[in-house]
Amino acid sequence: MRKAMTLAIWMAFVYCSIFTLVEGTPPNVTPPNVRALDDGLALTPPMGWYPWNTFGQEPQNEKLIKEMVDALVSTRMREVGYLYIGPDEGICFYRASDGKLTTNLERYPSGLRGLGDYIHKRGLKYALYTDAGTHTCSKAMPGTKGHEFEDMRQFADWRCDYVKIDWCNTEGQDVVKAYTLLHEAQRAAGRPIVHSLCSWGEGSPWKWAAAVGHLWRTTGDICEPGRADWQSAMEIVFANEKLFEYAGPSHWNDPDMMIIGMPGLRAAQNRSLFSLWCMMASPLIAGNDLRSMSKSTLQILTNLEAIGVNQDPLGIQGHIIRRNGQISIWAGKRLFDGSQAVLVFNQKSSSADVRLLWSDIGIADTAGLYVRDLWKHETTGPHADGISVTVPPNDVAFLRISKSREFPLPPIISADTYLVSLQATSTTPQTLSATVVIHNQGSVKLPLWRVREGLPPWLSVTVARNGKSQILTNRISTAGLRKGFYHAVVRLDNTEPVSGRPMSAIYYDVDLEVPNDVGDSSK
């Protein structure tokens, strides 16, 4: 009876609405005069792991970060795209008397460069943390104010790929000017780095930050370290949702690191949070203890069908098209194959029956459509007009809707390493070689990347495609090189856009050590 009433109320609500959504909501509206960055970074939302939500400041140290790196690899989270990892406000450096940022070797004995190498060798990318003010939030670390150019150079020397820039202790600073200066400093330092702005929405970064960064926090912290907070997560979700028009490839709204898998949340809540983050094209930065997570948490965090929605190359942030009390219907997220993602979120403590009409989600023709349930991994249909779903308490129905029975997954890329390291072993010229292998967990063909020009004369890189992988062969000629250390950053751009949108550029480091002068083969 209660079920029938809920259904009737919903149908009335749906039918009475005058809202119509047209297929293909205009995506990626950046405000006039704001141009997103063209470094090819973060063309899909960044994914990774950061320590803050679970660990706070203690016990962040090298051992902890390395254990999480190993967990990303052993759980295969790396394979499904979790890439960026490193200390948050983990007391990892201080400012020495000469003004230089210097590793806190007590906590990070390999040095911050050593930690970066460890991360890169395992096919992951290196994330660090700083602050735009005088100090970080706890004041345990220096901020960049007045040292922007030296600090960004130091981050580049540590081979950092991603930096979260906090907004504590910034009294009297202008938020736009401060983050713009840091972006200029990063450009001057020369290393491509994802800039994650963390002003908690202060200064409305969605209006200007696409020109100086790749993602920006839209709200305050999602929780106190160690304490998952469902209520706070809900407030953040509904604040972040409103900003959907500002997100797009290389410029994302960031509702904070995820709390999935932290103590105190049930599986349904974890599933809901992950679906919401995927639907909002939010950065997927896990914040739980990866060493001890349950099977259910791992299954949620690695659900490829949900990740495929998040990593869709069109980069559209879905939004609410209907909300009736504690039930919301999310749509507006067209995907690369022409299908649409739809989410029904039930915040109630009882289950809900919801009738979803195709016309309601902006699909004008009411021909039968196929429905893929992204949690049950089942396809049904064709369904004429719409479908009915029953959503358990605090849970979701996360669906893809298509005219076709096929639900392809976009490319989901990982690499076996981001650091090629070679050493000359002879004083006569040699050709040394090593590969970087790119894998694709998506179901569509792996698109092709091409090497950017501008490599040093001692290095050449060729690209070969082989089924689901792409092999980047690095050949080093030592002829005529003097004793010393050589370094290059290789950039490859995606030349086969998926539905008109390129995938993120691939960057990696090549190191060469030449212990003794090498003769020139031409002589």
Nearer to ligand GLA, 220 or 263 (CB): 220
Instruction: Please pick, from the candidates 11, 73, 105, 137, the single residue that binds ligand GLA as defined by CB under 6 A.
Output: 137
235 binds ligand GLA (CB under 6 A): no
Contact call for residues 14 and 360 (beta carbons, < 8 A): yes
Cβ 46 to ligand GLA shortest distance, Å:
15
Instruction: Please pick, from the candidates 62, 88, 117, 289, the single residue that binds ligand GLA as defined by CB under 6 A.
Output: 88
Q: What is the per-residue binding string for ligand GLA in 186-225, x denoting contact by CB under 6 A? A: ------------x----------------------x----
Instruction: Please pick, from the candidates 17, 20, 74, 138, the single residue that binds ligand GLA as defined by CB under 6 A.
Output: 138
247-286 positions binding ligand GLA, by CB under 6 A: none
239 binds ligand GLA (CB under 6 A): no
- The site for ligand GLA, by CB under 6 A, has a size of 9
DSSP bridge pairs for 413: 440
128 binds ligand GLA (CB under 6 A): no
DSSP readout, 15-67? HH------SSPPP--PPTT-----S---SS--EEE-SHHHHTTTT-SHHHHHH
Stretch that binds ligand GLA, among 31-39, 134-142, 305-313, 365-373 (CB under 6 A): 134-142
Nearer to ligand GLA, 89 or 395 (CB): 89
CA distance 272 to 230: 11
Residue 12: which residues within 8 A CB-CB, separation 6 or more? none
CA distance 267 to 280: 20
Nearer to ligand GLA, 217 or 322 (CB): 217
Nearer to ligand GLA, 74 or 138 (CB): 138
Nearer to ligand GLA, 160 or 409 (CB): 160
What torsion do the CA atoms of 285, 288, 291, 292 make, to the nearest 10 degrees? -150
Cβ 198 to ligand GLA shortest distance, Å:
5
49 binds ligand GLA (CB under 6 A): no
Nearer to ligand GLA, 164 or 372 (CB): 164
161 assigned to active site: no
| Strand stretches in 70-217, DSSP E | 84-85, 93-95, 101-103, 125-131, 162-166, 194-198, 215-217
Instruction: Please pick, from the candidates 166, 337, 360, 509, the single residue that binds ligand GLA as defined by CB under 6 A.
Output: 166
Residue 225: which residues within 8 A CB-CB, separation 6 or more? 52, 53, 54, 55, 56, 57
179 binds ligand GLA (CB under 6 A): no
Cβ-based neighbour number of residue 347 at 10 Å: 19
Stretch that binds ligand GLA, among 94-102, 133-141, 298-306, 324-332 (CB under 6 A): 133-141
The structure tokens listed for 408 are 């392809």
Nearer to ligand GLA, 88 or 395 (CB): 88
Cβ 52 to ligand GLA shortest distance, Å:
4
58 binds ligand GLA (CB under 6 A): no
CA distance 103 to 160: 13
Sign of CA pseudo-dihedral 356, 357, 360, 366 = positive
Cβ 168 to ligand GLA shortest distance, Å:
6
* Marked catalytic residue, from 157, 221, 385, 511: 221
The structure tokens listed for 499 are 């539905």
151 assigned to active site: no
Residue the block writes with tokens 């063309």? 43
Cβ 161 to ligand GLA shortest distance, Å:
18
Entry field: residues in the chain = 523
Cβ 167 to ligand GLA shortest distance, Å:
8
3-state secondary structure of 12: helix
Cβ 284 to ligand GLA shortest distance, Å:
15
3-state secondary structure of 198: strand
52 binds ligand GLA (CB under 6 A): yes
Stretch that binds ligand GLA, among 23-31, 135-143, 469-477, 505-513 (CB under 6 A): 135-143
* Closest-CA residue to 125 (of 205, 206, 42, 57): 42
Nearer to ligand GLA, 108 or 486 (CB): 108
Cβ 136 to ligand GLA shortest distance, Å:
6
433 binds ligand GLA (CB under 6 A): no
Nearer to ligand GLA, 225 or 381 (CB): 225
The structure tokens listed for 82 are 């979790």
CA distance 121 to 325: 49
Residue 130: which residues within 8 A CB-CB, separation 6 or more? 136, 141, 143, 144, 151, 155, 163, 164, 165, 166
380 binds ligand GLA (CB under 6 A): no
**Greatest Cα-to-Cα distance within the chain, rounded to the nearest angstrom:** 92
R_g over Cα of the chain:
24
Cβ 1 to ligand GLA shortest distance, Å:
47
Stretch that binds ligand GLA, among 7-15, 136-144, 330-338, 424-432 (CB under 6 A): 136-144
3-state secondary structure of 207: helix
Cβ 247 to ligand GLA shortest distance, Å:
19
Catalytic residues: 166, 221
Residues of the shown chain interacting with ligand GLA in the complex, contacts defined by CB under 6 A: 52, 88-89, 136-138, 166, 198, 221
